[in-house]
C-alpha cells in the first residue's frame, strides 16, 4: 500500500485500467478529473471537476496518474503531463503486480507498465510511456518519452523507439531496429527495417503508408 493519495487525470477507458491497478494495490484515490463528468469511475471513484481542480491540491500532498491514453499521433497525453509537471506535480510510475520487470531496467517518472507485460534487463523506459497489456520488451530496448507500446506488441532485443511514437497492437519490431520520433506503426505490423521520424508504416512486412 502506497502512502500517497492519487488523482487520476482523465475518466475514459485507460483511466479505468489505471484505477483498477491502483485499487489492487490498496492505494487511496481521491478522484478523477476530466472535461466532463463520467459518473463514478469503477463504481466508486468520484469526479472532482475539470483539470483546473488539480491546482487546488498542494503538489507535495498528492501524486497524479495519467489516465489519458494515446491514440496514434495525438499529443493530448503528453501535453497534460508537461503542463502539470511544469507546476511541480509528480506523475506516479505504476506497475501492475502481474508484470515481469527486470531489476536492471531504468524506468523514468510517470511510466506505466500494465498487466502481463514483460520488460527485460538493460532496457530503458522514458517518462510518461505506456507499456500496455501483455507487451514484451526484450533486452536492451529503449522506449522514448511519451511513447505508447500497445497491447500484445513485441520489441525484440536492442530496439529503439522514439519519443511520442505509437506502436500498434500486436506489432513486432525485430532485433536491432529503430523507430523514429512521432512515428506510427500499425496494428499487427512486422517492422524489419528502420522507420524514420514522423512516418506511418503498416503491414507484413511493414511499409510506409502512401499519402
- Quote the cell numbers at residue 159: 530496439
Would you call 86 exposed, middle or buried from its count of C-beta atoms within 10 A (0-12, 13-18, 19+)?
exposed
Catalytic residue among 139, 146, 166, 182, which?
139
Distance CA 84, CA 95 (A): 21
Provide Rg for the chain, Cα atoms.
Answer: 17
**204 close to 190: Cβ distance less than 8 angstroms:** yes
**Sign of the alpha-carbon torsion through 194, 102, 112, 131:** positive
Question: Do the annotations mark residue 12 as ligand-binding?
Answer: yes
Q: Does 72 belong to an annotated binding site?
A: yes
Residue 123 labelled as part of a binding site: no
Query: CB neighbours (10 Å) of residue 115?
Result: 16
Rounded Cα gap, residues 166 and 157, in angstroms: 18
Query: Contact, 34 vs 52, CB < 8 A?
Result: no
**139 has catalytic annotation:** yes
Which residues are known binding-site members?
Answer: 12-14, 72, 148
Residue ranges for the known binding site for acetyl-CoA are 148
Catalytic residue list: 139
Amino acid at each position: 500500500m502506497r502512502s500517497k493519495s492519487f488523482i487520476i487525470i482523465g475518466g475514459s477507458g485507460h483511466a479505468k485500467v489505471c484505477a483498477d491497478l491502483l485499487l489492487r494495490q490498496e492505494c487511496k484515490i481521491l478522484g478523477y478529473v476530466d472535461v466532463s463528468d463520467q459518473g463514478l469511475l469503477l463504481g466508486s471513484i468520484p469526479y472532482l471537476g475539470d483539470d483546473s481542480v488539480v491546482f487546488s491540491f498542494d503538489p507535495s500532498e498528492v501524486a497524479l496518474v495519467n489516465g489519458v491514453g494515446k491514440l496514434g499521433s495525438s499529443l493530448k497525453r503528453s501535453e497534460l503531463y508537461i503542463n502539470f509537471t511544469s507546476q511541480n506535480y509528480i506523475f506516479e510510475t505504476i506497475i501492475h503486480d502481474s508484470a515481469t520487470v527486470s531489476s536492471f531496467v531504468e524506468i523514468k517518472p510517470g511510466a506505466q507498465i500494465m498487466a502481463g507485460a514483460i520488460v527485460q534487463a538493460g532496457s530503458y523506459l522514458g517518462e510518461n510511456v505506456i507499456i500496455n497489456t501483455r507487451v514484451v520488451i526484450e533486452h536492451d530496448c529503449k522506449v522514448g518519452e511519451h511513447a505508447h507500446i500497445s497491447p500484445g506488441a513485441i520489441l525484440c532485443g536492442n530496439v529503439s523507439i522514439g519519443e511520442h511514437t505509437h506502436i500498434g497492437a500486436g506489432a513486432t519490431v525485430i532485433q536491432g531496429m529503430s523507430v523514429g520520433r512521432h512515428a506510427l506503426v500499425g496494428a499487427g505490423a512486422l517492422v524489419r527495417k528502420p522507420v524514420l521520424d514522423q512516418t506511418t508504416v503498416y503491414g507484413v512486412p511493414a511499409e510506409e503508408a502512401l499519402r
